[in-house]
A = this chain, B = another copy of it.
Amino acid sequence: MDRATTPTRPAGRPRSSVDATVFAATLNTVHQLGYAHATVDRIAGAAGVAKTTIYRRWPSKGALITACLVDAFGPAPLTGASREEIMSTAVRWTAAKIGEPGIGAAFAGVFTDAVNDPALRQLLSAQLQDPYRLALQEALGEPENRVLFFIDVVVGTLLHRMGMTGEPMADADVDALVEMVLRALR
C-alpha cells in the first residue's frame, strides 16, 4: 500500500497504489456489462475500492475511462525497416488493441461522451490522439502523413465533423478524406 517515493513527498497519507487495480476492474466491467452499464459504483466494487476514492483521483467517469485507455494502449510500437512497414505495424497494432476485451467498448463509450463534453473531448484528444500522431510523424519524418487511420478518421472525423460543437474540419481536409476513401474503395 505504498507508492513510489517522490523527492519531496507531500504531507498527509499517501495514496494507496490501486490505479492498476482500478484500471483492470474498469476494462473488465466495461467488457462484461458495456459502457453504459459499467457504472462507477460497479467499477469501484469490482476494484475493491470506495467510489469516493475513484472520484478523488479522476474527476469524472469519462476521465477515468480515458486514463484507463491511455494506460491500456501504452506507447505504440514504431518499428520496421521501411516507412510502409512502420505504418503497417502501427495500424495493425491499433486494430488489435481495439479488439482487446473492453478496450473497444470503452473507447466507443468515452468517444460519444466526448461529443457532448468539450473538456472531455480535449482530454481525449490530447491524451490519445496527439502523442500518437506526433510520435508517428517523428518516426516517419513526414508531418503531412495522415497516420493512424482509426484515430484520425474515427476520432478526427466524428469528433470534429460530427461533434458539431468543436471547430469544424476544413473543407479541404474533408475533400482529402473523401479522396482517400475513394482511393481505398477503388
User: Is the pair B146, A185 in contact by a Cβ cutoff of 8 Å?
Assistant: yes
Interface of chain A: mostly helix, strand, loop or mixed: helix
Is A54 positioned at the interface, with any CB of B under 8 Å from its CB?
no
Give, as a whole number of angstroms, the nearest-CB distance from A70 to chain B. 17
Which of under 10, 10 to 19, 20 to 34, or 35 or more describes the interface residues of A? 35 or more
Give this chain's copy count.
2
Contacts of A146 in B (CB 8 A): 185
Interface residues of A (CB under 8 A from B): 31, 34-37, 84, 87-88, 91-92, 95, 98-99, 101-102, 104-105, 107-109, 111-113, 115-117, 145-147, 149, 153-154, 158, 161-165, 168, 174, 177-178, 180-186
Contact present for B108 and A163 (CB under 8 Å): yes
